Structure 1
Amino acid sequence: MSEKEATFTVRSLIATAIGAVIATVVVLEVSGRIDHDNNKDNIPVGEFQAIHVTPGEEFRMSPKSSELHAACEQGYLAIAADVDPDFRGILVDHKNRGVRCSRGPAPEAAEDAPGND
């Protein structure tokens, strides 16, 4: 294939592909086909991992702050954003059970304890 037959350059093909994607998103947004959920009650605030720490063993962690902070909400650990403290979520495990922020008995166990009649 000679240079005369190659009418499109790689740059023009890449620019056309990017333009097509942008145009598609704009058309879908304007026509209302992209659904934006405004209900923020059940969305995850973030994804977290626990690092197992044993006495005397070092662990690696980023020196940067996460821009989140923890607070105790009704006996459960809540994570809130530093920029918007009203936007917070209760920390739950993989079975959607709340993580307590005190070492006292679980709320269910406290109700069942003797002397709570």
Structure 2
Amino acid sequence: MSERNPIPLILTAVGSVLGTVMVLWYYGYVNFAKPQDALLLNEFTMLKTVPGEDYKVSLKPADQVVQCVDDVLVMFDLEQRGLTGVLVDSRKRAVRCISQETPKAP
């Protein structure tokens, strides 16, 4: 038996993976995140409401909105269109919400 040259097989495998990633990127199934697209969770704070205590918030609304989609809290950024994220806790579990109807597009 003669030995086969593995270099063409390796090049074919690498080319196939690169070609697949490029096709998926072209059709929008793969998105490469940029640092400016990130929203840092430390920019947000949860205010605990206690009955009888006052709390102050700004009258100007934030640049983000949230909707309940399939019982998961999804955040949309109004400044950077297309920036969407699911709110998760420290263990990467999605924050759930209770919705009675399907959310309408803003």
With structure 2 as the length reference, what TM-score do the two structures score?
Answer: 0.50
Determine whether 1:40 maps to 2:52. Answer: no
Question: Partners in 2 of 1:73 and 1:86 — Cα distance?
Answer: 16
What SS does the corresponding residue of 1:99 show, helix, strand or coil?
coil
What SS does the corresponding residue of 1:79 show, helix, strand or coil?
strand
Determine whether 1:61 maps to 2:57. Answer: yes
Structure 1 residues 19-34: aligned runs within 5 Å: none
Q: Tell me if structure 2 keeps the 8 A contact 1:44–1:89.
A: no
* 1:52-107 CA distance string (max 9 Å, x none): 1012211122222111100122211011012345321001112211110117xxxx
Determine whether 1:91 maps to 2:92. Answer: no
Q: Name structure 1 gaps, 5 residues minimum.
A: 1-37, 104-117
Instruction: Please provide the CA RMSD for this pair.
Output: 2.7
Q: Tell me if structure 2 keeps the 8 A contact 1:45–1:88.
A: no
Q: Tell me if structure 2 keeps the 8 A contact 1:77–1:91.
A: yes
Aligned-pair distance for 1:44? Answer: 4.0
Determine whether 1:81 maps to 2:69. Answer: no
Question: Partners in 1 of 2:50 and 2:65 — Cα distance?
Answer: 23
Question: Partners in 2 of 1:57 and 1:49 — Cα distance?
Answer: 18
With structure 1 as the length reference, what TM-score do the two structures score?
Answer: 0.46
Higher relative CO (Cα under 8 Å, sequence separation at least 6) belongs to: 2
* 1:1-38 CA distance string (max 9 Å, x none): xxxxxxxxxxxxxxxxxxxxxxxxxxxxxxxxxxxxx7
- Amino-acid identity (%): 26
Question: Partners in 2 of 1:72 and 1:85 — Cα distance?
Answer: 18
